[in-house]
């Protein structure tokens, strides 16, 4: 009898976990993408949700200035590196981190956070590894879908964020 109950509970747990996983995937509002690059010796990837503008005013309204933003849609945006990299003074050892930003009219703040696996709005400032700022610029033509790119250059590369009429470039070094 006890074995039968234990098996039933185990099967129930698997069914519940599968339902929760499928439910989370169905609740995604935007398509997801992984930007990948080998820069120097480092293999780096960023996984994020790619919302569309859809005629909305993005920065300053949908994404407020001066507030933490998940830098995408749905689950929190993650960066994975197999080598040490540095965004300004922020040192990332090989591993997985979450990226948030604080958009501003002229300058953005990139936040590297140690907590991973959370929904994008579940931000815990106590888990911040560090922050770095960069100037934003207006694009000559709007970008309909949020795009994150990893571009090589110099002794490292640049994480580029483009959406609507805005581009922000966060340089990093590979160690």
Give the residue among 164, 169, 133 at the shortest CA–CA distance from 59.
Answer: 164
Render 3-51 in DSSP notation, one character per residue. Answer: HHHHHHHHHHHHHHHHHHHHHHHHT--S-EEEEEEEETTEEEEEEEE--
pTM, entire model: 0.84
- Per-residue confidence at 23, pLDDT binned at 50, 70, 90? very low
pLDDT at 116: 96
pLDDT(127) > 50: yes
Map out the domains of the chain as residue ranges. 1-30, 31-174
pLDDT at 27: 79
Give the separation between CA 144 and CA 88, rounded to whole angstroms. 29
Task: Please state the rounded mean pLDDT for residues 18-28.
Answer: 53
Give the separation between CA 43 and CA 41, rounded to whole angstroms. 7
Q: Calculate what percentage of the chain has a pLDDT beyond 70.
A: 85
98-110 as b/e: b if 16+ CB within 10 A? bbbbbbbeeebbb
């Amino acid at each position: 009898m006890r074995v039968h109950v234990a098996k039933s509970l185990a099967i129930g747990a698997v069914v519940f976990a599968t339902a929760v996983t499928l439910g989370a995937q169905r609740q995604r509002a935007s398509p997801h993408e992984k930007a990948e690059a080998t820069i120097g010796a480092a293999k780096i990837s960023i996984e994020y949700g790619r919302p569309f503008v859809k005629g909305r005013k993005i920065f300053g309204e949908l994404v407020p200035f001066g507030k933490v933003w998940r830098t995408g849609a749905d689950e929190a945006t993650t960066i994975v590196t197999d080598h040490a990299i540095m965004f300004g003074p922020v040192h990332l050892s090989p591993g997985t981190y979450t990226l948030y930003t604080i958009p501003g009219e002229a300058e953005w703040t990139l936040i590297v956070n140690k907590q991973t696996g959370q929904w994008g709005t579940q931000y815990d400032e106590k888990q911040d590894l560090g922050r770095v700022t960069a100037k934003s610029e207006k694009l000559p033509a709007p970008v309909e879908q949020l795009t994150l790119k990893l571009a090589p250059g110099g002794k490292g590369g640049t994480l580029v964020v483009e959406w609507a009429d805005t581009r922000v470039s966060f340089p990093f070094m590979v160690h």
